[in-house]
Amino acid sequence: MIYDIIIIGAGAAGLMCAIEAGKRRRKVLVLEHAEKIGKKILISGGGRCNFTNLDVKPENFISNNPHFCKSALARYTPQDFISLVEKHGIKYHEKKLGQLFCDGSAKEIVQMLQTECEDAGVEIKVNCIIDKIELVNDSQISETAFRITSNLGEFTTESLVIATGGISIPQMGATDFGYKLAKQFGLKLTKTVPGLVPFTLNEGSYSELSGLSIDSIVTCNNTSFRENILFTHKGLSGPAILQISSYWDEGDDITIDLLPGIDLVFIINEHKPNKTELVNLLAKFFPKRFTEKWCELNFPTKPVNRLLDKDIEMIDEQLHNWKLVPKGTEGFGKAEVTKGGVDTNELSSKTMESKKEPGLYFIGEVVDVTGWLGGYNFQWAWASGYAAGQFV
């Protein structure tokens, strides 16, 4: 059971790497512990897989070394993946902000990757539980090789690719296998925290608004996103919140502009002659349920002609600059990605190979590169998988 390349993890990055290495006529084996391949792809994008974004820049990724992702992203672009999708006749559409989704189902992306693997002669084994991986001297293939012991037997390879992803959504089969293996071979890790994750707020504050969403600008640590925020039973979610969560550290405050671009002071003054109730005026911009709760918590409603200048300033400030300190996040169980991972200083940005341990590669989410919401994480998985696939 000797292979040129063994890839651990049949997710987005692992399958892309397998296809590329297989196309180079290398003997490739993919080992997957789940009962089927691509499980995270299947649940992604609400079942429609937001497989890439039309506008991918290094600035859309978070890492201790923001330059690391540049090389791989430049060598495998969104257009490259779109060409593959089109080759397989998969219909897709842009939902918003360059985000490309399947018209049908994420199953089509997994089927496409499986077909490409078959065409490239890649062997895939599922239900494979790996017991240990060790370096051995094997004169049959080279001086040193990786020996994998598993419930399906022993496998040996010169090139071992770790594509086991992050630890978010453990119920989908996510494990810390990649991090443990990196440690075993002496590679450093950066701190791993949930990314693209809803915030929890202190009890009671806005929980009864659950389900309401409001177009907002959310800011934290000098980074801002304009999209919807969504009130939940536990706190806040929605695309703007998920995006900013990746820039948030425990204890940081976030600022929410609930009325982007609206000059509320002018509008209130304009309505003074009509004696409009504040709660009714605000209902022009927000769902009624929100304005009622907001007035109850922040400023009892009254006709706007009775508001003092300082009241108007306060209302304006509260709605444009709502500052809050989230209690925490909903954790890895709800996070779309894991921020942090294998330290990029340990890897070649060209090949994804470990600088310390020749023949050992890390690709995809297990590496300390985290994309924004909107197809960026898959683009990183495809691009890093492609990069390694050219060299393994």
Residues at the site binding ligand FAD, with contacts judged by CB under 6 A: 8-14, 31-34, 39-40, 43-45, 49-50, 130, 163-165, 168-169, 173, 175, 177, 336-337, 364-365, 375-378, 381
Q: Which residues contact 389 (CB under 8 A, 6 or more apart)?
A: 16, 17, 18, 19, 20, 21, 23, 24
Q: Which is nearer to ligand FAD, 9 or 359 (CB)?
A: 9
Q: Which tokens is 134 given?
A: 């060790």
Q: What is the DSSP string of 18-31?
A: HHHHHHTT--EEEE
Distance of closest approach, residue 203 Cβ to ligand FAD, in angstroms: 27
CB of 50 to ligand FAD, least distance (A): 3
Cα–Cα distance, 316 to 214 (Å, whole number): 16
Cα–Cα distance measured from residue 311 to residue 265, given in angstroms and rounded to the nearest whole number: 10
Q: How far is the CB of 271 from ligand FAD (least distance, A)?
A: 43
- Which residue's CB atom is positioned nearest to ligand FAD? 11
Q: What share of the chain is helix, strand, coil (3-state, %, to 5)?
A: 35, 25, 40
Nearer to ligand FAD, 336 or 357 (CB): 336
Cβ 105 to ligand FAD shortest distance, Å: 12
Closer residue to ligand FAD in complex, CB, 102/315: 102
Q: What is the DSSP letter of 9?
A: -
Whole-number minimum distance, CB 229 to ligand FAD, in Å?
19
Nearer to ligand FAD by Cβ, of 291 and 370: the residue is 370
**To which residue do tokens 């409603």 refer?**
301
Is 160 in contact with 31 (CB distance < 8 Å)? no
| Closest to 5 (Cα-Cα) out of 13, 17, 16, 131 | 17
Q: Which is nearer to ligand FAD, 8 or 392 (CB)?
A: 8
In our burial notation (b when 16+ CB lie closer than 10 A, e otherwise), range 140-150 reads eeeeebbbbeb
Q: Is 51 helix (H, G, I), strand (E, B) or coil?
A: strand
CB of 269 to ligand FAD, least distance (A): 45
Nearer to ligand FAD, 101 or 206 (CB): 101
DSSP per-residue string spanning 227-261 = EEEEE-SSEEESHHHHHHHTT--TT--EEEESSTT
User: Considering beta carbons, is residue 199 or 290 the nearer one to ligand FAD?
Assistant: 199
Residues β-bridged to residue 136: 145
- Whichever of 10 and 236 has its CB closer to ligand FAD, that residue is 10
Please choose, from the candidates 247, 246, 217, the residue with its C-alpha nearest in 3D space to the C-alpha of residue 229.
Answer: 217
Alpha-carbon span 108 to 112, nearest angstrom: 6
Question: Could you tell me the two tokens for 168?
Answer: 């978010």
**Residue 34 beta carbon to ligand FAD: minimum distance, rounded to whole angstroms:** 4
In the bound state with ligand FAD, the residue whose beta carbon lies nearer, of 170 and 211, is 170
167 or 264: CB nearest ligand FAD: 167
Nearest distance in Å: CB 296, ligand FAD = 35
Do residues 229 and 214 make contact, with C-beta atoms less than 8 angstroms apart? yes
For the CB of residue 110, give the shortest distance to ligand FAD in the complex, in Å. Answer: 10
Residue 71 in 3-state DSSP?
helix
Question: Residue 40 corresponds to which amino acid?
Answer: K
Quote the least distance from Cβ 75 to ligand FAD, whole Å.
17
